[in-house]
Every structure is written in structure tokens, then in C-alpha cells.
Amino acid sequence: MSRRFLTGRLIDLGIVLIGVSVLVFLMIRLIPGDAIAIMLGANAEVTPERMAALQARLGLDQPLPVQYLSWIGGVVRGDLGTSIWTGRPVLDEIVANVWPTLQLTLLATLFGAGLSIPLGCFMAEARGRISEVVVRIVAIIGLTIPSFWLGIVLIFLLARYFPGVSALGYVPFSEDPLGNLQRMALPVFALSLPMLANLSRLVRSAMLDALGQDYVRTARAKGAGRRRVLYVHALRNALIPFVTSVGVSVGYLLGGSIVIEQVFAIPGLGRLVLGAISERNYPLVQASILVLTAFFVLVNFAVDLLYALIDPRVRVT
């Protein structure tokens, strides 16, 4: 990978991260004033002095650029603010809730992306008018099926036909590996189905595309076996759009996990954010959004680099 390519990407990364942090920073400043009053809590009387004190605590009484610099300085040192209600650093609350979300996202990515390659290759072999329409309709159903509805239906079916199996809640993998995976199975399936539908369709069309290219004909002509042509020559080239799509899908999974955690009562970041919104704990909302988005941006940065490793043509520009 050329140094020029890498510096270019690093500059892009820096600009996007700064932009994201500015937006997230502005978020708490855009909240209407009466919300500040609510943040004072039900038990405290709202007086102008108390309002001013809270605004000072949140740093809302200083000019915006000063506020931003002191806030971002804290963020870089790992100080994401303190929770309005518990007074604990929000970073602690995020760390305490991050593992279920990360595990859910990771397993869903592995399941969705992993299964989509054989499924896409299989679908690429099914050609013809009727099977093309069937593939398309099934893929679109997979893409548009509401994951939270699917989750609810799965819970209902499990409760009705296998009343002994618990599907809700979360047990750390370190405590009970089997129980952990058993409880993760349904949420992972519900969460990753749209990704699976999207990616397998993409793999299918990329495979069909690749199979029509000259290098595949050359590989066939020199006597490579059918499997070798399919999985070495065609698949490697079909993977290029695939990798980008996986990166973009992670953003969908991070958002979708918020909903799925709610359905399956998993104590992850999604539940943390929703709880924080309902109790107007804005520093916690702000910090959670910042952490999840930064994670998504870094995943896509890694995907960009991976992309360059797979496709040498990208490195030049």
C-alpha cells in the first residue's frame, strides 16, 4: 500500500471524525431550555440559580468554540462526561453495557456475511427466468422484513412450542458459554437476515458478472477445474464490492441492534441509549452516539484499507 494512499485515507478519517464530534457536541446545545429544567430532576425545585448552576456544570455558559475545545479535550483523554442521574462517568456505564452489543453485532456480521457467500454462489448457479424472479422476491422479503417483528414472532413460536427454552435476556459468555450462545441465536438471526439477503444477492450478481469476464474464460481455457474457476478466480473478484457492503452493513447492524436488544431484553448499548433518552440523561445519550459512530467510522476505515489489499487498482488513486 502506497504511503500516499494511506495518508489520504488518514486525512479523510480525521475530517470525518472531527465533523462527527462537532455534530455530537452541538446536539446537547440544541436541546431546548425546558429540557435543562427537566434535567434538574423531579425532586429539585426549578429556580434560575439552579438552572444557571446546571448550565455551568454542563459548560453551557461559555462561548461555543471554547466549549467544544474543552469537551473534545476531555473526550480524547477518555472523559466523556458524567451521567446526570448517577453522577458516574458515562464511560463506565458505556463499558458496562458494550459487550452484549459488540457480541450481537459481531455474530450477526459473521453469520450474515459468512452465509451469504455460499448462498450467493448457489444462487448464481440457479439461472433462468422463473428462478431469477423467485431469487429476487425472496431476497427483497429478507431485506424488508422488520427485524423486530421477526424477533417477536420467533419469541412467540419458541414460547408456544418449546416453553422450557429461554430466549430472553443475556448471560455473559464467560459465565455460561452455552446459555450465552443459546440466547444469542434468535437475536443474531433476526438482526442479520436483511444483511444476509442483501449480501447474498450482491454476491450472486457479482459472481455472474465475474463469470462473464475474460480472465474466467482464460482460466477455463488453461484447464482449471470448475470449482477452482468458481471459488478462486471468480469469487476473489466478486468479493470486492462485497467487502465494501459488509462495512456499510455494520452501521445497519449497530442501529438494528438497538431495536433487537429491546425485543430480546438484552442489556446492551441500545437499551442504555433508550433509557437515557427517556430519563433525559443527555450526556449519556451524547457519549453513546459518539462511541458507536466512531466505532462505525473506524470499521469503514479498516474496510477501505482491506479493499485496497484485495484490489490493487484502488491503491493507485
Residues that bind other proteins (CB under 8 A): 15-16, 19-20, 22-24, 27, 30-31, 133, 136-137, 140-141, 143-146, 148-150, 152-153, 155-156, 159-160, 204-205, 208-209, 251-252, 254-256, 258-259, 262-263, 273-274, 277-278, 282, 285, 289, 292-293, 296-297, 300
Closest CA to 200 of 188, 211, 208: 208
Q: How far is the CB of 12 from other proteins (least distance, A)?
A: 8
CB nearer other proteins, residue 132 or residue 176: 132
| 88 Cβ neighbours under 8 A, 6+ residues apart | 82
Q: How far is the CB of 159 from other proteins (least distance, A)?
A: 6
Q: How far is the CB of 222 from other proteins (least distance, A)?
A: 26
Q: How far is the CB of 232 from other proteins (least distance, A)?
A: 21
Residue 82 has φ and ψ, to the nearest 5°, of -115, 145
CB nearer other proteins, residue 13 or residue 181: 13
CB nearer other proteins, residue 41 or residue 251: 251
- Residue pair 281/214 in contact (Cβ under 8 Å)? The answer is no
CB nearer other proteins, residue 149 or residue 215: 149
CB nearer other proteins, residue 26 or residue 172: 26
Residue with cell 431484553: 265
Q: How far is the CB of 195 from other proteins (least distance, A)?
A: 13
Residue with cell 427517556: 278
| 38 Cβ neighbours under 8 A, 6+ residues apart | 280
* Long-range contacts of the stretch 82-91 (C-beta < 8 A, 24+): 82/283, 83/281, 83/283, 83/284, 84/39, 84/280, 84/281, 84/282, 84/283, 84/284, 85/41, 85/279, 85/281, 90/283, 90/284, 90/287, 90/288, 91/287
CB nearer other proteins, residue 181 or residue 265: 265
Q: How far is the CB of 297 from other proteins (least distance, A)?
A: 5
CB nearer other proteins, residue 55 or residue 180: 55
Closest CA to 149 of 18, 271, 259: 259
E strands, 166-209, are: none
CB nearer other proteins, residue 169 or residue 172: 169
Q: How far is the CB of 281 from other proteins (least distance, A)?
A: 10
- Per residue in 177-212, is it b (16+ CB within 10 Å) or e — as a string? eeebeebbebbbbbbbbbbbbbbbbbbbebbbebbe
Measured distance CA(188)–CA(107) in Å, rounded: 6
